[in-house]
Structure 1
Amino acid sequence: MKFRKTMALAFAALALSGPAATAGEAQLSGEVRIGELNSYSTLPSFTEPYRKGWSLAVEEINATGGVNGKKLTVISRDDGGKPAEALTVANELLSREKADMLVGAFFSNVGLALSDFAKQKKIVYLAAEPLTDAMVWSNGNPYTFRLRASNYMQARMLAEEAAKLPAKRWAVIAPNYEYGQSAVAVFKKLLSEKRPDIEWVAEQWPPQGKIDAGPVAQAIAAAKPDAILNVMFGPDLVKLVREGNARGLFRDRAVVSFLTGEPEYLDPLKDEAPVGWIVTGYPWYDIKTPEHAAFLKAYQARFNDYPRLGSIIGYSAMHAAAAMLRKAGSTDADKLIEAGRGLSLTTPFGPITFRPADHQSTMGAFVGVTGVRDGKGVMMNPAYRKGEDYLPSEAEAAKMRPAGN
C-alpha cells in the first residue's frame, strides 16, 4: 500500500493543475463521480484486465487525496458491446447515477455512439479503447477525448514496416464493422502511397465474433497473395490462426497484423502462436523504463498477475480523467474541455499529451514480431513508437473535423 501511495503521488505531481473554480462555476464537492462502461461480458479477455487497471488507478488516486481533496467514485456498467445498449447505460449513468463524466468503451461503433451522446448531453467522454479515426476526426466533437493510439497511428507504424517487404500481392482479413473497416482503409492508403507497385487481390470480411475460419482461409489462399493484412482479434483470431496453420495459409507468406502482439490475444494460442508476424502489441516482459517498472510492480502486488494491454489502458484512462478534473477544478463540462486540451500526464508508456486540435492523445504503441518462447506466444524485438511521430499535424487534423469542433 505504501508503494502504491508513493507511485500515485508521482503521477499526481506530473499532472497539470489549474486555478480554483470561482463563484458560479460547478464546484468539486463531496465526491467526483465517473460513469465507466465497457464490454465486460462480450470481450472479457481485454476488459477484465482493463477493469483491474482502472481499479488500481482509483485506489492510488484516493490514497493520495482524491481529486483536489474529493473522493473519486467510479460507477461501472457493462455496455454489452452494442451501441443501443451502451446508450441506455450511459443515460442511466448520467441521469440516475449523476456521473460527472464518462470513461470507457471497447468497440469503435459503441465509442462513436457514446461520442454523439456526449455531444448531445454536453458531458465529457474519455474514450479509452475505441480506435476508429472518426472518433477524433470526421465525427470529432469538443466533448470527446481519445486515449489510445488510433487506427491511423497504428496503421502508419505497420505500413512503415510492411513497405520494406518484397510482397506485391496483398490480401485482407478483417471484422466487418467500424473498427475493421477503418483500420483496413487507412492501412491500404498508407501502404499504397509508400508502395505504388502493390495490388490488393482478395478481401474477407467475417462478422465480428462469428468468423467461419475455414472458408475464409480457403478464399484467401485461392488468391495466392504474397502477404496478408489481418485485423481479426480475440476468439476470432484464435480460430483464424489455428485454421490457417492447419491449411498452411501463413507458410512462406508475410503477415502484418493489428493488435496481435497483445497478450490478451497471444496467450490463448500458447505454442500455436504465429511466428514472424509484424504486429502492434504490449511486451510487458521486455519493457525496462522506470514508469513501466513502477506500474508493473504495483499491478503484480495488487493482483498477483501480469498486466495485459487492457490493464495499461484502464489504468491510464482513469489517471487521465482524474488529471483533467484536477486541472479544471470543476466538474463543469466547458471547464473540463478546456483542461483536457493540452493536458499532459505520465503513463506506464511514458509522457502523453491530449492535443488541443483533435483531443487525440500522443500515447504510442509497440511494434515487433510474434514468436514462441517457453511454449507461449510472445512479441519479440519490440520497439516503442511515440504517438506524436505518427499523427498528422494538428493543423491537418483540425481540417478533418466538422466545422466548429
Structure 2
Amino acid sequence: MAERTLVVRDVASLLVSTSCGIGFFLGTGELALQQGMAACLYAVATAIGLVALALSAPRLQKTGQSIWTYFGSLYGPTISQQVAAFSLIWMTGVLSAQIRGASAILALSGMPQAVSIISVDCLVLVFSFLRISWLSGMFALCMCGCNAILVYALAETHSLILWLRSPAIFMESIRAQPVGHTGLVLLSVAALVVCGADYQQFPAMAKTPTHARYGCLTAAVIVLGVGFLPASAVIAGANLWQLGHLADQAQVVPKLLARAIDSSAPVMSLPVTCLLIVTALGSACSILRAMTDATATVSRDTSIPAVFHRILPVLAATLVAVYGRSIVNVMVTLNIVYLAAVVPLLALTLLGHPIQDRAAKRSMLVGAGVSTLCVLIEWTHTIHMPEATPLVLAWPCALVAALRSHATSPQVESPCLNPAELRQRSQG
C-alpha cells in the first residue's frame, strides 16, 4: 500500500467517487425506467457497506494491508494469490461498468461503439498513472458537477420535491420488488464494500485511524444523499424528454443531462460530456489501481512485464462491457462469485477457527466453483433459479469443504494456526 497521507476529505472523496462512478449513475438511471425509485437499492446498500467499513477502517489504516495480503499473512502466498484472483473477477465487473458507461456517453456524440470503447480504454490507462492526491481533487469536482446538473434537471422539470420525498417513495417501491432480489443486492453490495480492495485501499492510506473512520462515515452520508438523484431525475424527465425510447438504456442519464442543459444553453453540451467522461475515468482509475496490485500478486511467480498488470484487467473488463447486460446486474453477478469464495473463509478466520492452508484453498475453490456453475446455468436459461441460489448453495458447500478437510486431514504439511494465534493475526 502507498504511504498514509489522506485526510478525511480525501478519503471521503475517493470513496464516493468509487461508489458513485458513472457506472452507478448510468446503471441507476437504466433501472429507474423499469423499477422506479427501487433502482436506488444499490446506493442504499453501498451506504450501509461504508458504515460497516468505518468499523474496520482503523485496523486497515494500522496494517495497510489489502485483503489478499491479509489472507496471505494467515495462510501463505498461495491463498493470497487465490484471493487476489477472485478479487479480480468482481472488480472486472465494476470496471466494465465504468467502461460501458463512458463509451455510452461518447456514443451519444456519434462516435462508433468500437472507437468509443478503445478511446475509453486508452484514457483509463493514462489516468491510472496520475498521483492519488490529484485524482482526489479532480473526482470531487467532477462528482459535484454531475450532481449539480442532476439537480438542475430536476428544477427544469419542477420536480425537486420528488428528490426530497425519494426515501419514502423508495421504501414503498422496494416492497414491490422480489424479496430475494432485494436481499441479494443488499448483502452482496454491502459485503463487497467491506471486503473489496478498491474500497479498502483508501482507509489504508489515511493519515490516522480517525481520518480513516470519519472519511468512511462522511462518504456514507454523501452516497446516501446523492444516491436518489439519478433515479429522481430520470423519473421526472422520462415522459418530457422521451427517455424510454433510447436504443441503449445505459444512455438515459447522459441524454437527460444533455436535454436539460440544451434547453437553455446548447454551448454547454461539450463541457457536460467532458464532465461525465472524467467522472467515469476517475472511478475506473480507482478500481484499476486495486486491480493492478491484485494482478501483480497473482502473477508473482511469472515474468510478466509490469505494464501488463494494468493492461490485462482493462482488456478483461472491456470484454465484459461488450457483452451488453444491464450495468448493475453485471456488477452484482460477478460480486457473487467473489463472495461465494471469500466470505466462508473470512467468517471462519474472524471466529478464530483453526484452518490449514490446504483446507482454506479447497474451501475457496468449492465456493467459487458452485457459484460459477449456478451463474452459468442461469445465464444459459437451462434452469430458472432464484437469484440468491449461488450463495445459498456455495456458502454451505465451502464451509463443509473447509471443516471436512480439517477433520479428515489432521496431519498435513501446511501449518495450522491455533485459535489464539489466528485471533492475534486477524487483529493485525
TM-score scaled to structure 2, two decimals? 0.22
| Structure number having the greater helix percentage | 2
| Structure number having the greater strand percentage | 1
